Structure 1
Amino acid sequence: MSRFIDTIVAMSAKSPNGLTTGEPHEPVRRTWAEIHRKARAGAAELVAGGLQPGDSVAILAADVAQVAHTVQSVWLAGGSTTMLHEPGHRANPAAWQAATLQALRTVHADLVLLGRPYESFAEVLRAHGFAARAIDETERPGAGEAFVPVEVGEDAPALLQLTSGSTAEPKAVRVTHGNVMANLEDFSAARGFGRPDDVMVSWVPMFHDMGLVGCFLGSLTTGMEYVAITPAEFLGYPGLWQELMHKYRGTMTAAPNFSYVLMARQLAATEPGSLDLSCVRIMGNGGEPIDPDAMHRLMAAGAPFGLAPETLACVYGAAENGVLITITPEGERMVVDVVDAAALEKNRRAVPAAADAAPGEVRRFPLLGYVLPSVSARIVGDKGEVLGEREVGTIQLRGASVAAAYSTEAGIVPATDADGWLDMGDEGYFVGDRLVVCGRRKDIIIVGGRNIFPTDIERAATGADGVRAGNVIAVRVAADGVGGIEKESFAVLVESRQHDDPAAAERIRDAVAARVLSDVGVRPARVLVLPPATLPKTSSGKLRRAAARDLL
């Protein structure tokens, strides 16, 4: 039996802790033992229904408690799981359905399990040739009392994790039992998961590797208490997140940068003394570019509530490594590397900036900690040569936790080269043993021989009056002559509540262009002022830069 399954079985038997869902209206707590008993019953039903070892099972459900036992059922029955993306409140139903069917073809789904509120989707799935069952059909009390988990090895797939890459060639990361357990052991040991008083509080969805592996499995495999709300509950009222940390004495959480921006706003508007966040010891920030200035604002806003600066852990992660790749040491505050913009963008070197450099002459990146023990990381140049400290290039990974393959509609394809190295598609550099990530290679905007990362443009544009903070996207614009654009450039798309006032919109366009020129040294070819809720986002609220190009 894999160590992953052994750990789940053992921890479910001995831990008194469990999972709380349903906040803020109807909180319900279930112990890990209760959830595991239901998982065994579900596994017995799946095997009786014909599920074979190695079968690919996709799951679509909104109820975290339902997902918690269903994923275990699939693993105990010898299958691999794929968490399907739920539609966001702004999703086009037809587009979401098409994307879901494509995802099922990508993972070659043998079965789709449907939970609340998606049971009615079964008819559509069957019409397209996919077997589908309601999760409720597998929930038969007592069915798993004599069930023995199906034997699986370390190389068997545990997760086929959908990526957010190109829609032209969708793929899913093939994460094995050995991969996921190596990563869980790495980060759990590095930050001491599972201490007697530990409580994880999360809103990150289970279809995201941060939610599924980092928060859920990080809690389950260490026997930690876990409080989970859905993205819809969080986005509907962002203040609920910190209120639950206060209520349950949460010690850990993890989320992408934008949600900490929302937390800072909420705390700034909260009555001092109404929350006690001194219990929090880890707030992992990853999954998207980290804005150091926004994190400084968060720490300032959180100080009156006992939130210590040392709680913030800026990290680098990816589904190709389970979830986490780097982690910052406990007790260490965020460290920001301030580098010379010209050396970075023209010479691809992260040279420390002069102390008296103007704001537009520097770029600021948080150090993302050290690489976890099961991973080796290196930076390589355009010709594959290994680069030295502070030389900017492509990040590559190799190790026990690194996935070796992707699942595609055409079949399984290698993720690594002949020597086991995985190209992450991210640009970065090392400062000593600490990793810095500059941005996605495919998103780099090349203007006048400079390699500009869109996050620098977006942060500058956010400072313009009238722009909705956190609702800005910079995208590359091809030199096709359309709209008078004769050479490679970029556009900036911003949301504003003043979008329908022509004079105000014009002022915002001018202000954005001026701010970007001042801070980054380049002028956008176009600035679009859009209504609120226009920029494309994932169902967990993250901006989708590639999809935003369709708005041009």
Structure 2
Amino acid sequence: MDTLVASALDNSGAHARGITTGAPEQPRRRTWNEVHSEALRIAGALRTPDGRPAVGPGDVVAVLASDPALIAPTVQAVWLAGGSVTMLHQPTPRTDLAHWAQDTLRVLGMIEARLVLLGAPFEDLADVLEQHAMPYRKLHDLAGTAEPLAEPAATSEETTALLQLTSGSSADPKAVRITHGNLYANMRAMVTGAELDAESDVLVSWLPLFHDMGMVGCLTLPMATGLELVKVTPADFLVRPLLWPELISSYGGTVTAAPNFAYAIVGRRMARADDGDFDLSTLRFALNGAEPVDPEAVRAFTEAGARFGLRPESMVCAFGMAEATLAVSFAPLNRGVEIDTVDADELEKRRQAKPAGAETTHTRRFALLGRALQGLEVEVVDDSGAVLGRRKVGALRIRGQAVTPGYLTMDGPVPGQDSAGWLDTGDEGYLVDGQVVICGRRKDVIIMGGRNIYPVDIERSACEVDGVRAGNAAAVRQEPGSRRERFAVVLESGVAGDDVAEKALGKEVTARVVDAVGVRPSAVVVVEPGTLPKTPSGKLKRAATAELVPE
């Protein structure tokens, strides 16, 4: 049996640790042993009336559900049956269901799904699947009185465990293939890097389970290692962001994780909270990853949390990607956010991250993201593939046990590694004493007057203007690759629709951007909150955002 499933079995009954869902209104706690027992019943129910397996080794099973209490045993059940799991992206109240259905059916065809498992609140979407002859089962029908699976299916480290959906660089979907060996290696590296202790740590999470940080880091890892988990849904967090620190306070959370935008939102709201509202003194590991780390947002969060016992050194910046299963590097523990301040002119014109001196007038600040985790390597190379030295900016590539063997695409399987095992991350960055620094995505870099300008610098300056929603500004290239390359800024604001207020906001944003990067945007477009296109993990989709800029 592969090491991932063996770990889940070994830890399911090792102690009384488990998962709490439904907090705070209707908390329900089950031990991991109870989750495992339910998984065996679900696996047993994944059989035809004559007892043959409806899901067996190599079969792809898609899951569409929001309740972690249902998803945890379901995912384990599919693995026990020998299949792989694909978490489908969930429609939101604003989603056009016709478009969602079309996109989802394309995904199901691409991954050659054997079965779709539906859970609340998505059972009504069964009609869409029936119309297209897609087999499905409803989860509430599976966990009843079925005979438990007698023996887990034989799998190996090379067997696919997850097909993690990603939009890639185009509108076409693709899925990152994660093997059981990939999963086990990355979880083992994260346990070591974060110094996780299944006997004492409590993980609190609201992250979506259709994203790698939520699925791998905040469900699979605790389920396989026996770590205590408190799990709510993204919708719970979005409706009431302060639920996150409330749960950390109530359950003595020691570990949590989120993208930078979430820390920015909660930092602002905690700053207005009353003394004594929270107790964050137990938190020792707050991972910040999945999108660029904004040092100012982190500072605002840690300063707001200090009143409630939060230690600033609990913040841990990280680099991760689905192609590495999840985590590539963690910053050193108990040191807080470490910033590298560099000469912006040297960075933009000579592609060198030279430390800023007292005489430097134009600077950039980047968070150090730590050294590669156990079993992984990170290199920086130039366009020819030659390895670059310390503080030289180039393309980041990774290699190691947790790196995907490849992708499933609409055109078929595509390898993820070159002949030497390296995977191109698509990021541009550099190394400082072995620690990773990311400047931005190579495809998004704006080239003007021989300078490489990174969208994140423009976006951070725009978000400093009052009236711009934090984390909701996007700098997009126009005429990329031409001599006339320009950029526009698209931002969300509550003043959208008020021509006078929009114009005033645009002028202020333009001035702030010019002050920050020395160039003027061709346009500032103000849109209503919730308009900017984003990935399921909350990252800006700059290519799609460019379509919001008038010709």
Q: Secondary structure at the match of 2:468?
A: coil
How far residue 49 of structure 1 moved from its aligned partner, in angstroms, is 4.4
Q: Deviations over 1:324-355 (max 9, x none)?
A: 00012221221100011111111111111113
1:153 aligns with 2:156: yes
TM-score of the pair, normalised by structure 2: 0.96
Assess, with a 3 A threshold, how the Cα gap between structure 1 residues 309 and 52 changes in structure 2: closer, same or farther: same
> How many Å separate the matches in 1 of 2:121 and 2:467?
38
1:136 aligns with 2:140: yes
Equivalent pair of 1:377/1:396 in contact (CA under 8 Å): yes
Equivalent pair of 1:348/1:392 in contact (CA under 8 Å): yes
1:136 is aligned with what amino acid?
Answer: H
> How many Å separate the matches in 2 of 1:471 and 1:153?
43
Partner of 1:493 in structure 2? Answer: 490
Question: Which of the numbers 241, 247, 256 marks the counterpart of 1:253?
Answer: 256
Q: Secondary structure at the match of 1:182?
A: helix
Q: Deviations over 1:346-385 (max 9, x none)?
A: 1111111113433xx1111000011011111111111111
Partner of 1:77 in structure 2? Answer: 81
Partner of 1:467 in structure 2? Answer: 468
> How many Å separate the matches in 1 of 2:166 and 2:497?
36
> How many Å separate the matches in 2 of 1:497 and 1:329?
39
Q: How does 1:172-183 map to 2 (within 5 A)?
A: 172-183=175-186
Partner of 2:322 in structure 1? Answer: 319
Partner of 2:445 in structure 1? Answer: 444
Q: Deviations over 1:408-441 (max 9, x none)?
A: 2332221111111101101111001101011111
Partner of 2:245 in structure 1? Answer: 242
Equivalent pair of 1:41/1:147 in contact (CA under 8 Å): no
> How many Å separate the matches in 2 of 1:295 and 1:121?
40
Equivalent pair of 1:405/1:412 in contact (CA under 8 Å): yes
> How many Å separate the matches in 1 of 2:57 and 2:2?
13
Q: Secondary structure at the match of 1:395?
A: strand
Equivalent pair of 2:70/2:119 in contact (CA under 8 Å): yes
Q: Deviations over 1:49-87 (max 9, x none)?
A: 422210111100011110000000100000010001111
Q: How does 1:23-42 map to 2 (within 5 A)?
A: 23-42=23-42
CA RMSD of aligned residues (A): 1.6
Partner of 2:394 in structure 1? Answer: 393
Question: Which of the numbers 157, 169, 191 marks the counterpart of 1:166?
Answer: 169
Partner of 1:457 in structure 2? Answer: 458
Partner of 1:353 in structure 2? Answer: 356
> How many Å separate the matches in 2 of 1:519 and 1:438?
16
Equivalent pair of 1:89/1:539 in contact (CA under 8 Å): no
Partner of 1:550 in structure 2? Answer: 547
1:315 is aligned with what amino acid?
Answer: A
> How many Å separate the matches in 1 of 2:170 and 2:273?
41
Equivalent pair of 2:162/2:177 in contact (CA under 8 Å): yes
Equivalent pair of 1:194/1:219 in contact (CA under 8 Å): no
Q: Secondary structure at the match of 2:13?
A: helix
Equivalent pair of 1:194/1:222 in contact (CA under 8 Å): no
2:477 is aligned with what amino acid?
Answer: R
How far residue 265 of structure 1 moved from its aligned partner, in angstroms, is 1.0
Q: Secondary structure at the match of 2:503?
A: helix
Q: Secondary structure at the match of 1:529?
A: strand
Equivalent pair of 1:193/1:222 in contact (CA under 8 Å): no
Equivalent pair of 1:194/1:223 in contact (CA under 8 Å): no
Partner of 1:514 in structure 2? Answer: 511
> How many Å separate the matches in 2 of 1:194 and 1:94?
45
1:105 aligns with 2:109: yes
Q: Secondary structure at the match of 2:38?
A: helix
> How many Å separate the matches in 2 of 1:479 and 1:248?
50
Q: Secondary structure at the match of 1:406?
A: strand
> How many Å separate the matches in 2 of 1:11 and 1:195?
10
Equivalent pair of 2:45/2:146 in contact (CA under 8 Å): no
1:279 aligns with 2:276: no
How far residue 178 of structure 1 moved from its aligned partner, in angstroms, is 0.4
1:106 is aligned with what amino acid?
Answer: M
Q: Secondary structure at the match of 2:326?
A: coil
Q: Secondary structure at the match of 1:426?
A: strand
Q: Secondary structure at the match of 1:44?
A: helix
Partner of 2:62 in structure 1? Answer: 58
Partner of 1:209 in structure 2? Answer: 212
> How many Å separate the matches in 1 of 2:452 and 2:94?
33
Equivalent pair of 1:88/1:540 in contact (CA under 8 Å): no
How far residue 541 of structure 1 moved from its aligned partner, in angstroms, is 4.3
Higher mean displacement: 68-77 or 190-199: 190-199
> How many Å separate the matches in 2 of 1:494 and 1:211?
27
Partner of 1:21 in structure 2? Answer: 21
How far residue 33 of structure 1 moved from its aligned partner, in angstroms, is 0.8
2:395 is aligned with what amino acid?
Answer: T
1:332 is aligned with what amino acid?
Answer: R
How far residue 487 of structure 1 moved from its aligned partner, in angstroms, is 1.4
TM-score of the pair, normalised by structure 1: 0.96
Partner of 2:338 in structure 1? Answer: 335
> How many Å separate the matches in 2 of 1:194 and 1:81?
27
1:299 aligns with 2:311: no
How far residue 403 of structure 1 moved from its aligned partner, in angstroms, is 0.7
Aligned length: 545
1:535 is aligned with what amino acid?
Answer: L
Assess, with a 3 A threshold, how the Cα gap between structure 1 residues 89 and 353 changes in structure 2: closer, same or farther: farther
How far residue 539 of structure 1 moved from its aligned partner, in angstroms, is 5.1
Higher mean displacement: 124-133 or 327-336: 124-133
Question: Which of the numbers 185, 192, 195 marks the counterpart of 1:192?
Answer: 195
> How many Å separate the matches in 2 of 1:326 and 1:20?
28
Equivalent pair of 2:325/2:403 in contact (CA under 8 Å): yes
> How many Å separate the matches in 2 of 1:394 and 1:189?
27
Assess, with a 3 A threshold, how the Cα gap between structure 1 residues 181 and 148 changes in structure 2: closer, same or farther: same
Partner of 1:502 in structure 2? Answer: 499
> How many Å separate the matches in 1 of 2:274 and 2:126?
47
> How many Å separate the matches in 2 of 1:349 and 1:52?
52
Higher mean displacement: 539-548 or 91-100: 539-548
> How many Å separate the matches in 1 of 2:538 and 2:388?
35
How far residue 486 of structure 1 moved from its aligned partner, in angstroms, is 8.1
Q: Deviations over 1:469-510 (max 9, x none)?
A: 222111111179xxxx98111110112222233222111111
> How many Å separate the matches in 2 of 1:119 and 1:292?
42
Assess, with a 3 A threshold, how the Cα gap between structure 1 residues 89 and 348 changes in structure 2: closer, same or farther: farther
> How many Å separate the matches in 1 of 2:128 and 2:9?
35
Equivalent pair of 1:339/1:350 in contact (CA under 8 Å): yes
Partner of 2:293 in structure 1? Answer: 290
> How many Å separate the matches in 2 of 1:133 and 1:190?
39
Question: Which of the numbers 523, 537, 548 marks the counterpart of 1:526?
Answer: 523
How far residue 106 of structure 1 moved from its aligned partner, in angstroms, is 2.3
How far residue 197 of structure 1 moved from its aligned partner, in angstroms, is 2.2
Partner of 2:383 in structure 1? Answer: 382
1:274 is aligned with what amino acid?
Answer: D
> How many Å separate the matches in 2 of 1:240 and 1:545?
30
Which runs of 5 or more structure 1 residues have no equivalent in the other structure?
Answer: none
Q: Secondary structure at the match of 1:200?
A: strand
Percent identical among aligned pairs is 48
